[in-house]
């Protein structure tokens, strides 16, 4: 039988989690934040220094760019849910190891199951690997829709990559417009849980 999901229980388990060594170096867990009933869920890599200090996802320089990117397609941060592949800051902002991502993936799946987004935007190579599996290259996968259990998933560049290499912004803008078009195309009211499309199955959207 499908287990009943609850945000309180999920946040408690994230807070208590010691499944991988990243927990040892984390000041605060960063579960992600935003509209728990959002049509659009964004998934990044993992918390940086500022996120670790505040316990909030995407509040540093990359987060400021992300805010502007969302605004460019008529969305406020409060309209979407923003999460990361891992909930604890990797030391020196290194890329999370595959085992660390694997340890954190059940939390991401559970979040997707609770939110039941219609669209998931994967920000960068780490989110791409965590959600759609290793072996895909962000430069080839970006801008290509994948559908999993009724959820549309689009990889794009990570905002930090856009800060490092502004020539990527044109492609990222195309990707954002695809998200905007998809949200306009889909019914603005999400189906009720269990009504098919994005039901509990959406909890598997984040599965490789």
CA 115 to chain centre: 11
51 counts as binding ligand URA under rule CB under 6 A = yes
Residue 127 Cβ vs ligand URA, minimum distance, rounded to whole Å: 7
Unique residue bearing structure tokens 């999993």? 148
Considering only residues 73 to 92 of the shown chain, the ones binding ligand URA according to CB under 6 A are 84
Asked whether the beta carbons of 160 and 124 are under 8 A apart, the reply is yes
100 counts as binding ligand URA under rule CB under 6 A = no
Asked whether the beta carbons of 152 and 179 are under 8 A apart, the reply is no
Q: Edge to edge, what strands does the sheet with 81-84 contain?
A: 33-34, 81-84, 40-44, 119-123, 151-156, 146-148
- CB atoms closer than 10 angstroms to residue 8: 7
Stretch that binds ligand URA, among 7-15, 40-48, 130-138, 183-191 (CB under 6 A): 40-48
Residue 191 to residue 137: CA distance in whole angstroms = 33
Nearer to ligand URA, 51 or 175 (CB): 51
44 counts as binding ligand URA under rule CB under 6 A = yes
57 counts as binding ligand URA under rule CB under 6 A = yes
Nearer to ligand URA, 51 or 198 (CB): 51
Which residue minimizes CB distance to ligand URA? Answer: 44
153's tokens: 């998933």
45 counts as binding ligand URA under rule CB under 6 A = yes
111 counts as binding ligand URA under rule CB under 6 A = no
Binding footprint of ligand URA on the chain (CB under 6 A): 44-48, 51, 57-58, 60, 62-63, 84, 160
């Amino acid at each position: 039988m499908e287990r009943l999901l609850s945000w309180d229980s999920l946040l408690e388990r994230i807070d208590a989690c010691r499944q991988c060594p990243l927990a040892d170096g984390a000041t605060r867990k960063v579960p992600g934040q935003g509209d728990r009933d959002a049509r659009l869920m964004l998934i990044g890599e993992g918390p940086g220094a500022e996120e670790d200090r505040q316990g909030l996802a995407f509040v540093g320089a990359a987060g400021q760019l992300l805010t502007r990117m969302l605004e460019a397609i008529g969305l406020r941060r409060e309209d979407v849910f923003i999460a990361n592949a891992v909930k604890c800051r990797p030391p020196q902002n290194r890329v999370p190891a595959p085992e660390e991502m694997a340890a954190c993936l059940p939390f991401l799946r559970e979040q997707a199951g609770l939110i039941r987004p219609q669209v998931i935007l994967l920000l960068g190579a780490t989110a791409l690997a965590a959600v759609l599996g290793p072996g895909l290259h962000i430069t080839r996968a970006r801008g290509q829709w994948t559908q999993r259990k009724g959820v549309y998933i689009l990889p794009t560049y990570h905002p930090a990559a856009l800060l490092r290499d502004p020539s990527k912004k044109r492609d990222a803008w195309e990707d954002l417009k695809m998200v905007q078009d998809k949200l306009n195309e889909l019914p603005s009211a999400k189906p009720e849980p269990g009504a098919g499309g994005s039901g509990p199955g959406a909890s598997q959207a984040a599965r490789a």
